[in-house]
């Protein structure tokens, strides 16, 4: 309780407080001062703060580019996460800068039970069915294109282009694929050397 009163006093006088003290104060008190959000912004979590702010904007601002995919579909942020401090208590810091917030159930809301930090590759593997959700069966295994690409060491787009031009077996087995350039038909009397 001493930490809570210390943080409360610090917020009142706007002195410097460590992130740990703010988190501890939040856990020990029922009322969280709004000024704590600005403390966290200045803290060691700018990336997490940006993820939190963008998550809220996608779900609440109709002007956001991706609103129709989030708030427009009825996806909301839980009341507990209206404050960044409680979001950080539930999620903790990102394991590395490559991680972003991910909903375990893509049709569920942003809640502590439905969210985690995940890499883009992990998120693409569980994405709602679209182009990345197309499955291919080969040698008795059925996987998404993104999973096949990862398994054979290609990017998704490289494998996707191979599959558009060649049969599945050729696209999945030939690691180094030679795609000849299109050249104009050469004739014996052509002014351009072939």
- The model's pLDDT over 103-120, given as tens digits with 9 standing for 90+, comes to 988 889 999 999 999 998
d(CA 126, CA 118): 11
Averaged pLDDT, 165-173:
87
What does the pLDDT read at residue 17? 46
Buried/exposed code over 120-132 (b: 16+ C-beta within 10 A; e: otherwise): eeeebbeeeeeeb
- In the structure encoding, which two tokens stand for residue 110, read together? 């942003």
Instruction: For residue 159, name the pLDDT band (cuts at 50, 70, 90).
Output: confident
Averaged pLDDT, 146-172:
86
Model's pTM, two decimal places? 0.51
Helix (H, G, I), strand (E, B) or coil at 91: helix
What does the pLDDT read at residue 21? 52
Domain map of the chain by residue range?
A: 1-43, 45-127, 131-173
Residue 31 scores a pLDDT above 60: no
What does the pLDDT read at residue 175? 59
Find tokens 């290609």 and name the residue. 154
Instruction: For residue 16, name the pLDDT band (cuts at 50, 70, 90).
Output: very low
What does the pLDDT read at residue 74? 94
Which of 63-67, 92-96, 161-165, 178-182 is predicted least confidently?
A: 178-182
Helix boundaries (H) for the chain? 2-13, 19-28, 36-41, 46-60, 84-91, 120-125, 145-152, 156-165, 168-173
What does the pLDDT read at residue 147? 84
What does the pLDDT look like over 122-147, one tens digit per residue? 887 766 555 456 788 888 888 888 88
Instruction: Pick the more confident residue, 42 or 141.
Output: 141
């Amino acid at each position: 309780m001493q930490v809570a009163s210390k943080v409360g006093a610090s917020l009142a006088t706007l002195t410097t407080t460590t992130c740990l003290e703010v988190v501890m104060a939040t856990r020990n008190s029922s009322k969280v001062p709004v000024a704590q959000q600005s403390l966290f912004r200045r803290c060691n979590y700018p990336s997490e703060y940006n993820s939190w702010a963008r998550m809220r904007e996608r779900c609440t601002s109709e002007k956001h580019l991706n609103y129709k995919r989030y708030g427009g579909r009825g996806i909301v942020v839980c009341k507990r996460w209206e404050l960044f401090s409680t979001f950080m208590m539930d999620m903790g810091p990102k394991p590395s800068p490559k991680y972003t917030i991910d909903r375990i159930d893509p049709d569920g809301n942003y809640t502590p039970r439905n969210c985690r930090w995940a890499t883009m590759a992990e998120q693409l593997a569980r994405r709602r069915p679209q182009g990345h959700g197309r499955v291919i069966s080969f040698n008795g295994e059925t996987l998404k294109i993104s999973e096949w690409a990862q398994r054979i060491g290609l990017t998704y787009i490289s494998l996707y282009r191979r599959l558009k031009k060649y049969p599945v077996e050729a696209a999945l087995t030939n690691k180094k694929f030679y795609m000849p350039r299109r050249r104009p038909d050469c004739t014996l009397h052509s002014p351009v050397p072939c």
